[in-house]
Amino acid sequence: METRLRFALLLTSFFVVWVYGATPIPNKQLLGIDPQDLSFYKSNVIKCKDGSKKFAKELLNDEFCDCPDGTDEPGTSACPEGKFYCQNAGHTPIKIFSSRVNDGVCDCCDGSDEYNSNANCTNTCWEAGKVAREKLKKKIETFKEGLIIRKEEVEKANKAYAKDEADLAKLKSDEKVLKELVQKLREQKERIDKLEEEERLKKEKEEKSLREEEEKSKEQEIKADETQNFDTMDNHEQDGSTGNLDIAVESGNDNMVESKKASTQTAEQHVGEGHDDTLESSDGISQDGEISSYEVPKQDQDDSGSTEELSREELGRLVASRWTSEGADQTTDKIGNVEEDLMDQDSSVAHEHKGYTSETDDDREKDDDDDDNFEDDRDDEFEDDHSSSDASYIADEYEKPDPLDSIEVSSPTWLDKIQQTVQSVLQAFNFFKTPVNVSDATHIRKEYDDTSSKLSKMQSRISSLTEKLKRDFGKEKEFYFFYDQCFESKQNKYVYKICPFKQASQDEGYSNTRLGSWDNFEESYRVMVFNNGEKCWNGPDRSLKVRLRCGLKNEISDVDEPSRCEYTALMSTPALCLEDKLKELEKKLEQMNTRKPQGHHDEL
Amino acid sequence: MAPLTPLLLRYLVVILIPLFLFSSSASAWKKDEFRNCNQTPFCKCARTRTPHSLPRLIVSDLLISDGHLTAHLQPSLSSEDDVSAGDTPHPRPLVLRLSVYQDGILRLKIDEDYSAPSAPSKQRFEVPDVVLPDFEDRRLWLPRVSSTEDGSISSLYLSDGFEVVLRHDPFEIQVRRKRSNDPIISLNSHGLFEFEQLREKKEGEDWEERFRGHTDTRPHGPQSISFDVSFHGAEFVYGIPEHASTSLALRATRGPGVDHSEPYRLFNLDVFEYLHDSPFGLYGSIPFMLSHGLKGSAGFFWLNAAEMQIDVLAPGWDDSAAAGNDRIDTFWMSEAGIVDTFFFVGPGPKDVLQQYASVTGTLAMPQEFAIAYHQCRWNYRDEEDVATVDAGFDEHDIPYDVLWLDIEHTDGKRYFTWDRVLFPNPEEMQKKLAAKGRHMVTIVDPHIKRDDSYYVHKEATDKGYYVKDATGKDFDGWCWSGSSSYPDTLNPEVREWWAEKFSLKNYGGSTPSLYIWNDMNEPSVFNGPEISMPRDALHFGGVEHRELHNVYGLYFHMATADGLLKRGNGKDRPFVLSRAFFAGSQRHGAIWTGDNSADWDQLRSSVPMILTLGLTGISFSGADVGGFFGNPEPELLVRWYQLAAYYPFFRAHAHHDTKRREPWLFGERRTALIREAIHIRYSLLPYYYSLFRKASISGIPIMRPLWLEFPEDKKTFDNSEAFMIGEGILVQGIYEEGQKSVSVYLPGEQSWYNMRNGAAYSGGQTHKLEVFEDSIPSFQKAGSIVPRKYRFRRSTTQMANDPYTLVIALNSSLAAEGELYIDDGKSYDFEQGAYIHRRFVFSNGKLTSSTIHSASLREKKFSSSCTVERIILLGLPSGAKKAVIEPGNHETEIEPGPLTLRGGASSVALVIRKPNVRIADDWTIKVL
């Protein structure tokens, strides 16, 4: 013990002397001092670093705490706030808490912290250092490579950003033109509407008088006429019977369109429902039976004071569920059946969903491909890629209407074309001809619809671009391309989808749980924060923090939920491969290399 | 649209059901779920009875036999009674037995007369295993009984200065002071004694009781007992846990000036989100009440494990003109069992505690690690999580000793198993912790999953070890593990079997550094009446659950602790934390106050709750730091740590829906504050360990009400905010958000030294103090010596060889004294004398260390090379420069120094620098 201690002391002082060639201070007193601090301890009366006191050199490392900040006991455990410096030759020097000194646990890889304890520490610095150096080297490589990618990306981002700004300006001016066109068309259209209305009223009057004289069979003919004449209204008039024609006429055009929509929807739902039914019956569970099985717990809840109607097991689950959120779902689980039914239902709904939204799925897959080929894409047609396909993917996935859909901002001629078309249509229409030329009227209406829909698309494009350009893309806009991208990571049964600047979700099959909406960057662009996700039972709203680190690809990993409904994830991205950090790492490696304990490492 | 409706409806149902559940879960305490007195026939009936309304009870057939006094107890049969009684059968006499034990303890038993011709076939349940086995050895042999000439009163010697008086007609027991004849405690002074004797069921009689869909068959019918007990000369009564309250003294539950209140209920229940102030019963029951006043203290204990309800009656409740005299009347009701009561005469409060401890025992000496800081959460999810949390403590230089795993660590809530996905290498995980001197605790609950492939269930089923339902089948209830059964640990054979489960061989994945936590042992049964077991369930020997309900948790705790003891071949002190408890649970391990909530009121009520546990024997107890339910504001969490650092049992715990709250998650400043709070506990560990030792010998708790130390200071009697740690330290909690100042009453005549800054405050006064963020007010009493360690480590294990600091607070005559107890912190060698016990006395400018070791018992020895690195002197007039140490005539310096070794600490005391005397040696240090 005694000899080992002396040896350790000798060795420590040897290194210190060897590296810094300082004037020797008694060995024991040197313990735990950072070589950079040695000069501080040279004088015979030493100040506590916090300025609280002075102490004589003999009191340095004398196992009695004189300075509350630990200045006088760098090498012992006497001061709770002290720090012990381990040389760790062959590895990285570290400072450990004084509480670790001689506590029987080897904390320094050179074992220097256990100079007076029963612990038998072997020097593992060289082996550990080797591994650490290799790791560091690799990290540096990544940083170097990442830095190049980052530079390119920043350049592209800035270009794209500038282009967005230019586009926005152009869009805004185009919008003006288009607005005027729409205005003109609307005026025309309204005039036509008015004309037609007059004609129709006139005709109606005639019909009315006719009808008074004619029999029922004749009415059929009139109707046929109407149908011919009022092409655009056929849908509605077929719906209505002759008896309530008046009412139908009074309700305006807008309503008609709506009711048409609604009826289509009903039809679609109906189809879906039929699908659902088949699924169920194949499971052999009748719908009625299912519903009644829900009703029992429901009634129970209505009568919240009483749990007497519950089966023993339900009661057990109900009580358990107070402590657990999971249990709450299980409570509705009537001996397992209900839960299964729920699953069935979910899947049937999901099927139904798939039935008429296959487009979305296709797009999703497309995007997956994009992600996979991200690196390659970036190298050639990076810009194009992101201004089209990714954007459309987002349009389908989330509520934001696709701003780019059919408007090719880059094409200079589209607006001219529209202008020409509108002009020609307007000119072609003859207002003085009665009855109104049906085909001309249709033309005007169509042109009005088309153009105003183009305008609204353009406006939404403008607002989304404005929205986009408001975002903070980082100091060098290094996160610009994150705007139109989503990143996914599959962990067990969940797929985590993170769309920076937008939102993040946890998907399981077809059920999505919103983990949060974009909040901001934190810790100077090292963390992406998504807040206000779906509320947790008896818990907080879900949230997600994505910690960014340097990597060659944009990749999500290690999604975790350290606290209930508070998610964390790691994401590697070239955007975080920063030059300063690289220099720091290189310096660290250099230091590790220069501290090679030439041949001494195996002596301990 | 029509075809859509069923689908929509079903969606609605799916959505609504959870909504209903959520809303009902969000509201806290489920009052309706638990029976109140009016819904409990025996309670309702007894509580409405008026004094002296029952037929008088008469004592007859007095006899001294076997050194006991026995007699018969019978209602008077006055002529009018005969007429009105009509067809009611002539009641059998009850058998009364009085016994006297050393140190002023009277035991009164009243039971059926099983020798009578019409005696019931069923024996009433008498709680075994609670009274210490050697208690009978301390019984005094009664040679005779002296009676007055008219034979109306008999009296017995109780102890020096005390006697027992038995009045024959009407029956009354009185314990009183001899010469003055001042009564201390009396029973049946108000004639409320009622004992429902077991009997045959009458034609058409319905004995069943129904509550919220549960039917209690009550095959043996009514069998309740009730009586009144009066504490004379008492100003306050305390005890009868477990109830949440902000008041240490029990408030009246009935009588003038009392709004409608339930009686204090003793019935072990798993109460979801309990209220911070309510007489309803919680997880444990100890039917032991203490009284205290300027005239002295007394105690009363009813050994009965059935449901009990106790009224504390406000003066004037009985319309007596005597309202306002210094007497507190109480009324005790129990559903079943027998009268087996103990009267403790005091006269001091510590005497009462020691008398009670001589009946039910003192706390089992814990290992040293167990009294340090514990880190728990429902749940540390997997091995990685465990490693991360463990590393977090190291990274932030915060010591901790034990990491806990809640139910989710198991394979489907099958205790003694591991979820091998989350915990693939439990042994390795524990070994990693053990390498840093840390321990692990896993949870083992009594609900055994009814799964034929689960060996514990299979064995218990095959051997018939489960509690049975009323029909004799294994009772099947719902708990965490789903459909579950409960081992019948009343049966010694079952306990032995259960204990075996903890051997390293049987408990796969366990290592010697693993200890145990018993939760849900009230027992909690989610689908049972009042979330517990039906009262007509059957235990070993045909005992009904109603008869032993309150002691079930203790038996389970006992069996588990026995298991750990066996695991270590009787050499390793067990550590088992239990939620349910009964009188005597202190012999088996620690207790915590269950599922509290993260709010300031619950922080406040934790102190009276823990103090009450301490007064009733359970010295090793604590409350979950931070509050189990809900998320504490960081300020509350910090205050909780600052208070809990003084709890005897110091553990942080949290519900799994709460945010993570490991100490370093609230910013650097708060991390530092929490570290400081935990450091205070670690620095005081030598003092705490010595107090644990003392408690294990004497039954005097570690954390004490002020009046226990200052029994003659009236101002302390109703103080529920401050408490003493041992004799030397007073702590005042801070229970309000943003509190800027606090009034602290410092009792006694000596002054007190503020442990934050060394400032002295005079005793016997209330001081208004500024409140600081960094600590709650704490004071060292002038005249005390507190041993500490000012070196902080990862855990207690690494502190074993660290030097001591003695903090000496001198009184007005410049004197002080204190003690230090040390042993190996693990084994039972201390029982063979392997310990160091020092007394430190400072007087006449000289500190002397001497042993208080009883030299006769030294089969084994414990040695320590620890030294004293620092002696801090508070209250010594400045001017001292040197000290001389004997033996060796060696000089050392005295210099001004701080109280704590913290950055910014200023010199407020005189410090003897590095005396470096060995803690185990005799020495003196003279201040020059």
Which of B408, B413, B478 has the highest number of chain A CBs within 10 A, making it the mutation to test binding with A? Answer: B478
The residue type found at B201 is: K
Q: Distance (Å) from the C-alpha of residue B8 to the closest C-alpha of chain A?
A: 10
Residue B26, chain A, CB below 8 Å: the answer is: yes
Higher pLDDT, B335 or A237: B335
Chain B residues within an 8 Å CB radius of A566: 659-660
Q: Is the pLDDT of residue B579 over 80?
A: yes
**Measured distance CA(B614)–CA(B703) in Å, rounded:** 7
Q: Quote the pLDDT of residue B321.
A: 60
pLDDT surpassing 50 at residue A199: yes
pLDDT band at A409 (very low <50, low <70, confident <90, very high): low
pLDDT tier for residue A325 given thresholds of 50, 70 and 90: low
pLDDT band at B31 (very low <50, low <70, confident <90, very high): confident
Closest residue in chain B to residue A294, using alpha carbons only:
B13
- B869 and A308 within 8 Å at the Cβ level: the answer is no
Confidence tier at A290 by pLDDT (50, 70, 90): very low
pLDDT at A598 over 70: no
Domain B39-77+90-360 class in CATH = mainly beta
Q: Does A307 touch chain B (CB under 8 A)?
A: yes
pLDDT tens profile A48-73: 998 888 999 999 999 999 998 999 99
- For B848, list phi and psi in degrees, rounded to 5: -120, 135
Q: Which of B16, B21, B803 sits opposite A328 (nearest CB)?
A: B21
> Which residue reads 């943003």 in tokens?
B738
Determine, for residues A290 and B10 on separate chains, whether the beta-carbon distance falls below 8 Å: yes
pLDDT at A115 over 60: yes
Facing residues of A55 across strands?
A46
Supply the ipTM of this predicted assembly.
0.89
Residues of B in contact with A296 (CB under 8 A): none
Q: Is B22 on the interface with A (CB under 8 A)?
A: yes
| Beta carbons of A328 and B213 less than 8 Å apart | no
* pLDDT at residue B266, rounded to an integer: 98
- Residue B387 at interface with chain A, using a CB cutoff of 8 Å: no
CATH superfamily, domain B803-928, is Golgi alpha-mannosidase II (2.60.40.1180)
Catalytic residue among B113, B522, B572, B635: B522
Domain ranges of chain A: 2-123, 486-585
Residue A343, CA distances (Å) to A288, A350, B7 in order: 17, 10, 14
Q: CA separation (Å) from B764 to B195, B240, B727, B747, B813?
A: 48, 30, 16, 5, 17
Q: Is the pLDDT of residue A333 over 70?
A: no
Chain B residues close to A333, C-beta within 8 Å: none
Task: State the pLDDT confidence band at A343, using cuts at 50, 70 and 90.
Answer: very low
CB-CB: which of A97, A301, A538 is closest to B657? A538
- Residue A439 sits at the chain B interface (C-beta within 8 Å): no
**Active-site residue, B519 included:** yes
Chain B closest-CA separation from residue A106 CA (Å) = 10
pLDDT over threshold 60, residue A410: no
Is pLDDT at A407 greater than 80 in this prediction? no
How far from B906 is each of A73, A593, B758, CA to CA, in Å? 18, 44, 10
Does A253 score more than 50 pLDDT? no
Q: Residue A495 pairs with which residues in a beta bridge?
A: A490, A507
In B456-495, the residues whose Cβ lies within 8 Å of chain A are 477-480, 482-483
Tell me if A294 and B483 make a contact (CB, 8 A cut-off): no
**pLDDT of the residue at B539:** 98
- Residue B403 pLDDT greater than 70, yes or no: yes
Q: Is the pLDDT of residue B514 over 80?
A: yes
Q: What was the pLDDT predicted at B207?
A: 94
Q: In this predicted structure, what is the pLDDT of residue B90?
A: 63
Average model confidence (pLDDT) across chain B: 93
Q: What is the 3-state secondary structure (H, E, C) of B510-566?
A: CCCCEEEEECCCCCCCCCCHHHCCCCCCEEHHHEEHHHHHHHHHHHHHHHHHHHHHH
- Top-ranked range on mean pLDDT: pick from A157-166, B88-97, B175-184, B484-493: B484-493
Asked if B499 reaches chain A (Cβ–Cβ under 8 Å), the answer is no
The better pLDDT of the pair B228, B901 is held by: B228
Q: Domains of chain B: which residue ranges?
A: 39-77+90-360, 803-928
Q: Which of B745, B613, B700 is nearest to B349 (CA)?
A: B700
Q: Which residue has the higher pLDDT, A24 or A124?
A: A124
* Cβ pair B479:A317 closer than 8 A: no
pLDDT at A2 over 60: no
**Cα–Cα distance, B784 to B873 (Å, whole number):** 11
The 3-state secondary structure of A55-106 reads EEHHHCCCCCCCCCCCCCCCCCCCCCCCEEEECCCCCCCEEEEHHHCCCCCC
Would you say residue A99 has pLDDT above 80?
Answer: yes
Q: Residue B310 above 70 pLDDT? A: yes
Name chain A contacts of B791, Cβ cutoff 8 Å. Answer: 77-78, 80, 99
**From A95-104, A190-199, A261-270, B747-756, the region with the lowest mean pLDDT:** A261-270
Q: Is the pLDDT of residue A352 over 80?
A: no
Q: Is the pLDDT of residue A331 over 70?
A: no
Nearest to B155 by CA among B142, B141, B165, B140: B165
pLDDT above 90 (res A377): no
Phi-psi region of B540 (alpha: psi -120 to 50; beta: other; left: phi over 0): beta
pLDDT of residue A48: 92
B408 flagged as catalytic: no
Strand partners, B482: B479
Closest-CA distance of chain A to residue B3, Å: 7
**Nearest of A53, A72, A69 to residue A61 by alpha carbon:** A72
pLDDT class of B2 with cuts at 50, 70, 90: very low
Residue A341: pLDDT above 90?
Answer: no
B887, B893, B898, B899 alpha-carbon torsion, rounded to 10°:
10
Residue to substitute from B13, B385, B597, B868, interface A, most A β-carbons within 10 A = B13
B435 contacts on A by Cβ (under 8 Å): 105
Handedness of CA B386, B390, B391, B392 (dihedral sign): positive
Scanning A130-169 for CB atoms below 8 A from B yields none
User: Considering only CB atoms, which chain B residues are within 8 Å of A103?
Assistant: 793-794, 798
More confidently predicted of B462 and A416: B462
Cβ distance of A323 and B655 shorter than 8 Å: yes
Asked if residue A47 lies in contact with residue A71, where contact means CB atoms within 8 angstroms, the answer is yes
**Closest by Cβ to A331, choosing from B21, B26, B213:** B21
Residue type, B130: V
Angstrom CA distances, B76 to A12, B45, B59, B89, B114, stand at: 94, 21, 10, 14, 21
**What are the chain B neighbours of A63 within 8 Å (beta carbons)?**
803, 869, 914
Q: Which residue of A has its CA nearest to B5?
A: A273
CA distance B615 to chain A (A): 31
Lowest mean pLDDT among B710-719, B822-831, B851-860: B851-860
The pLDDT of residue A221 is: 60
* B383-395 helix and B426-435 helix, angle to the nearest 10 degrees: 10
Give yes or no for a contact between A287 and B496, defined as CB atoms under 8 angstroms apart. Answer: no
Residue A126 has pLDDT above 90, yes or no: no
What is the mean pLDDT of the segment spanning B799-819? 97
Whether B915 and B808 have beta carbons less than 8 Å apart is answered as no
Q: Which fold has domain A486-585?
A: Cation-dependent Mannose-6-phosphate Receptor; Chain A (2.70.130)
CA distance B378 to chain A (A): 11
Q: B interface mutation test: which of A54, A67, A103 has the most B CBs within 10 A? A: A103
Between A22-36, A220-234, B312-326, B356-370, the lowest mean confidence (pLDDT) is in A220-234
For residue A303, what is the nearest residue in chain B, using CA coordinates?
B20
Annotated catalytic residue, options B469, B519, B624, B823: B519
Q: Which H/E stretch holds residue A273?
A: helix A253-283
* Mean pLDDT, residues B13-21 taken together: 41
pLDDT of B726-762, one tens digit each?
Answer: 999 999 999 999 999 999 999 999 999 999 999 999 9
- Which of B595, B624, B727, B823 is flagged as catalytic? B595
In tens, the pLDDT along B125-169 reads 999 999 999 999 999 999 888 888 888 899 999 999 999 999 999
Residue A397 has pLDDT above 50, yes or no: no
Q: Is residue B354 classed as helix, strand or coil in its secondary structure?
A: helix
Nearest Cβ partner of B901 from A68, A310, A320? A68
Residues B644-678 pLDDT 10s? 999 999 999 999 889 999 999 999 999 999 999 99
pLDDT of residue A224: 59
Residues of chain A above pLDDT 70, percent: 62
- In this structure, chain A runs to a length of 604
Q: Smallest Cβ distance to A99: which of B480, B482, B792?
A: B792
Give the closest of B3, B436, B904 to A270, CB-based: B3
Chain B positions in Cβ-Cβ contact with residue A314 (cut-off 8 Å): 527
Task: Return the higher-pLDDT residue of A28 and A386.
Answer: A28
Q: Is the dihedral of CA B275, B281, B284, B286 positive or negative?
A: positive
| pLDDT per position as a tens digit, B469-482 | 999 999 999 999 99
Asked if B595 is an active-site residue, the reply is yes
How far is the alpha carbon of B18 from chain A, nearest alpha carbon, in Å?
6
Residue B188 has pLDDT above 90, yes or no: yes
Average pLDDT over residues B560-578: 98
Contact residues on chain A for B479, CB-CB shorter than 8 A:
316, 320
User: Cα(B593)–Cα(A104) distance, rounded to whole angstroms?
Assistant: 36
Q: Do A325 and B435 touch (CB under 8 A)?
A: no
Is the CB of A259 inside 8 Å of chain B's CB atoms? Answer: no
Nearest CA to B456 out of B441, B466, B469, B442 is that of: B466
pLDDT at A191: 84
Q: How far apart are CA B880 and CA B928, in angstroms?
A: 6
| Inter-chain touch A313–B213, beta carbons under 8 Å | no
Average per-residue pLDDT in chain A? 72
Give the chain A residue whose CA is nearest to the CA of B8.
A273
Q: Which of residues 880-899 of B touch A (CB under 8 A)?
A: 898
Q: Which residues of B509-536 are buried (b: 16+ CB within 10 A; e: fewer)?
A: bbbebbbbbbbbbbbbbbbbbbbbbbbb
Q: What pLDDT is recorded for position A326?
A: 57
Instruction: Tell whether A450 is within 8 A of chain B (Cβ).
Output: no
Cβ–Cβ contact B531 with A under 8 A: yes
Q: What's the CA gap between A598 and B320, in Å, rounded?
A: 96
Look at A321 and B113; give whichever has higher pLDDT. Answer: B113
| pLDDT of the residue at A430 | 63
Smallest Cα distance from B389 to chain A, Å: 11
